[in-house]
Chains A and B, each alone.
Chain A
Amino acid sequence: MVHSVDDDRVFKALADPTRRLLLDRLFERDGRTLTELESELEMTRFGVMKHLRVLEDSGLVATRRQGREKLHFLNPVPIRLIHDRWIDKYTERHVSALADLKTQLEETA
């Protein structure tokens, strides 16, 4: 199923401190070039490119061409999808477990 493959890519992309740092940098200021991002990291241009490629493949980074430059943007949608798919599901269960407990306690009271 493509959906779970997409999730795998996002989780793998997030499972690296340099890539999370790149996302945080883009969160602070979006629409940056490779050169700008590279200047803030102690890493070779090739290394930063490799990480950006993984982020782009996962959908977490979107790129737009502007003239001769390629700008990188944080795309928050895959994180939202994980939130809707995973976080909501478990918090809902938690809430319904509490609701069940309340019903049970009130019935026996």
Chain B
Amino acid sequence: MSTMTAQTTQVYSIFIRATPEQIWDAITKPEFTAKYFYGSLVEITDDAWVGRFADGSVGVTGRMIEHEPPHRLVHGWRALYDPDTANEDESRVTWEIEGQDGGYSKLTVVHDRLERSPKTAESVAGGWSYVLSGLKTLLETGRPLAG
């Protein structure tokens, strides 16, 4: 991998053969997120987004900023899974879901406000592609990504 400083605004987008509602469920319900989000069980409340590991420990948490099903979810991101990233400022994750022609939807994830969280920026840089690829496979085939 490169030794470049990770980007402070990261944009990831993917076309998925699913409705915006199906994608919304897949990103907000723990029974789905467990299958592609590093085993994390995501819980959403009025004021927080929490990703727990199977043992119940919190991997990532953040404030709930915007919650507009099924098109837009914005929340804070503090990665507690590593002591180095846990001490950094909260960054921000925006999920945008747009319906497209032919039964497809476009999902865009923007992870920004990473200026004061360089270790978090580096930590998530490869992870989002893996997560979104797994989400697409799950929604289109009903199976988690192999391997």
CB contacts between A and B, total, < 8 Å = 55
Interface of A is mostly: helix
Across-interface contacts of B14 in A (CB, < 8 A): 59, 77-78, 81
Docked CA distance A27–B137 (Å): 26
A92 → chain B closest CB, angstroms? 7
Report if A100 contacts B (CB, 8 A). Answer: no
Across-interface contacts of B17 in A (CB, < 8 A): 2
Report if B13 contacts A (CB, 8 A). Answer: yes
A59 engages B15 (CB within 8 Å): yes
Across-interface contacts of A30 in B (CB, < 8 A): 7, 9-11
A62 engages B4 (CB within 8 Å): no
A76 engages B9 (CB within 8 Å): no
Docked CA distance A6–B130 (Å): 18
**Which B92-147 residues sit within 8 Å CB-CB of chain A?**
102, 104, 108, 110, 128-130, 132-133, 136-137, 145-147
Chain A 62-102: CB-based contact to B (< 8 A → 1; otherwise 0)? 10100000000101111111001000100010000000000
Docked CA distance A75–B9 (Å): 11
A92 engages B147 (CB within 8 Å): yes
Chain A 26-68: CB-based contact to B (< 8 A → 1; otherwise 0)? 0111110000000000000000000000000001001010000
A73 engages B147 (CB within 8 Å): no
B146 engages A77 (CB within 8 Å): no
B129: nearest chain-A partner, CB-CB: A80
Across-interface contacts of A59 in B (CB, < 8 A): 13-15
Report if B2 contacts A (CB, 8 A). Answer: yes
- Chain A positions within 8 Å of B, measured between CB atoms, are 2, 6, 27-31, 59, 62, 64, 73, 75-81, 84, 88, 92
* Listed A/B pairs (16) with beta-carbon separation below 8 Å: A27-B2, A27-B4, A59-B13, A62-B11, A62-B12, A62-B108, A64-B11, A73-B11, A75-B11, A77-B13, A77-B133, A80-B132, A81-B14, A84-B137, A88-B146, A92-B147
